[in-house]
Amino acid sequence: MAFRCQRDSYAREFTTTVVSCRPAELQTEGSKGKKEVLSGFQVVLEDTLLFPEGGGQPDDHGTINGISVLRVTRRGAEADHFTQTPLAPGTEVHVQVDWERRFDHMQQHSGQHLITAVADHLFGLKTTSWELGRLRSVIELDSPSVTSEQVAAIEQRVNEKIRDRLPVNVRELSLDDPEVEQVRGRGLPDDHAGPIRVVTIKDVDSNMCCGTHVSNLSDLQVIKILGTEKGKKNKTNLIFLAGNRVLKWMERSYGAEKALTALLKCGAEDHVEAVRKLQSSTKLLQKNNLNLLRDLAVHIARCLRNSPDCGGVVTLHRKEGDSEFMNIIANEIGSEDTLLLLTVGDEKGAGLFLLAGPAEAVETLGPRVAEVLEGKGAGKKGRFQGKASNMSRRAEARALLQDYVGTPSTEE
């Protein structure tokens, strides 16, 4: 039996009855990308308006009696609705779907069917899989390459079909119906039960599918193929947007164009050339800055080396600099009789450090300096360097070195 969401994809709310409710857990991705496990309940209804994920299409969002449904999954002929509030079996409930998300998925899924059929009819490009993404959708084509001319022809033809306002119909066929053999599809799930659902775009395509679809191609509004990317071995990914996603993409693109026009002080047609010039200027400035930094490192090193206080412990901190800057100073000073602690970065925040000196001393002190500066590092042959997260503790690191050699330090 098809769910209500499959029988009428345009329905936004309805009333049904709770069949069962059992404790369950749901693994989700938290705000910082870490996996989180939520405790809740799997609720089964007599029928559902919320589509369970399947066929490349994500699940619907919605509510049951105002309670948020966090996930909908298919289990045989039933749909499990994960909620964090229990619902008693036998209770009559009101189900509402997040219509903006539902209609978006209808547009993308029907758009995929149309692109897949046209790509096959025009160029024999077979679809092997597809993904309905949050911002864009991807069709995997069974070809190592697809030309820009082919992409343009596919886009033109699918939009012609949309303007023809072709109807999209859904039928159910029994497994032993001879017509099943004529229907395009990529196989059925192992736990499939009941009749086969067939989605037909008039005069274009018939395809086995469980998803929600528009009833007429005019509801797709427009399809934009953004381009192609190299896919898995001998595959090509075709990236597309359908319907409202095209409008949102155009809005974002126009907003970016306006911002670039204001920043670059030129019209949109000159943006690329203006950015190229800026990149060239930036590379030249970076090269000059690097040369100056190297000269500065050599000068600082010579000043330190010629200082009467050179020897024992020498420390130096600069806000600007990098690993190369510190290593140039260490090379110029030498490390036979000096423990040299160099740090660059924020005075009280994160940065880089380098400890140079006699190999035995550095091997002993390096990990301890990293610990004091709340960082990590590694080293060999009289050098230990790494990243630090707390430069405000440089004085403690200096004291550690002084205690080790038993002499005052030179600080620059």
Position 192 scores a pLDDT of 57
Angle at 167 between CA 9 and CA 197, to 5 degrees: 50
282: in domain? no
Say yes or no: 88 and 120 in one domain. Answer: no
Residue 411 pLDDT exceeds 60: no
Say yes or no: 220 and 337 in one domain. Answer: no
Say yes or no: 172 and 236 in one domain. Answer: yes
Alpha-carbon gap, residue 306 to 113, rounded angstroms: 77
Residues 21-46: tens digit of each pLDDT: 999 999 988 767 788 899 999 999 99
Say yes or no: 133 and 198 in one domain. Answer: yes
Nearest C-alpha neighbor of 123 from the set 152, 95, 102, 97: 152
The token pair at 248 is 């949102």
Position 297 scores a pLDDT of 85
279: in domain? no
Position 311 scores a pLDDT of 63
64: in domain? yes
Q: Give the end of a domain, one of 97, 130, 158.
A: 97
42: in domain? yes
260: in domain? no
Q: Give the end of a domain, one of 97, 124, 147.
A: 97
Nearest C-alpha neighbor of 217 from the set 110, 68, 311: 110
280: in domain? no
Angle at 243 between CA 237 and CA 246, to 5 degrees: 70
Say yes or no: 168 and 244 in one domain. Answer: yes
User: What's the number of CA atoms in the CB half-sphere (13 Å) around residue 332?
Assistant: 19
Say yes or no: 82 and 120 in one domain. Answer: no
Distance of CA 140 to the CA centre of its chain: 18
CATH of the domain at 324: 3.10.310.40
Say yes or no: 189 and 123 in one domain. Answer: yes
Side chain identity, residue 223: I
CA distances to 29, 209, 296, 312 from 351, in Å: 31, 55, 19, 24
Residues 238-248: tens digit of each pLDDT: 999 999 999 99
Nearest C-alpha neighbor of 115 from the set 139, 142, 136: 139
Nearest C-alpha neighbor of 339 from the set 275, 278, 409: 409
Alpha-carbon gap, residue 369 to 376, rounded angstroms: 9
* Three-class DSSP category at 25: strand
Side chain identity, residue 285: L
276: in domain? no
Say yes or no: 141 and 53 in one domain. Answer: no
Residues 337-363: tens digit of each pLDDT: 788 999 999 988 999 999 999 989 999
Say yes or no: 74 and 157 in one domain. Answer: no
CATH of the domain at 170: 3.30.980.10
Say yes or no: 20 and 145 in one domain. Answer: no
Say yes or no: 241 and 178 in one domain. Answer: yes
Residue 282 pLDDT exceeds 90: yes
Alpha-carbon gap, residue 323 to 330, rounded angstroms: 11
Side chain identity, residue 199: V
Q: Give the end of a domain, one of 208, 234, 252.
A: 252
Say what percent of the chain tops pLDDT 90: 70
In this structure, the strands spanning 338-345 and 312-318 are parallel
Expressed as residue numbers, the domain containing 318 is 288-405
Alpha-carbon gap, residue 326 to 303, rounded angstroms: 15
The token pair at 163 is 């303007």
Residues 105-148: tens digit of each pLDDT: 999 999 999 999 999 999 999 999 999 999 999 999 999 999 99
Say yes or no: 48 and 122 in one domain. Answer: no
Number of structural domains in the chain: 3
Residues 160-180: tens digit of each pLDDT: 999 999 999 999 887 777 676
Residues 64-97: tens digit of each pLDDT: 999 999 999 999 889 999 999 999 999 999 999 9
In sequence order, which residues have a C-beta less than 8 Å from that of residue 54 and are 6 or more positions away? Answer: 74, 189, 210, 211
258: in domain? no
Mean of all residue pLDDT scores within the chain: 91
Burial class (CB in 10 A: 0-12, 13-18, 19+), 293: middle
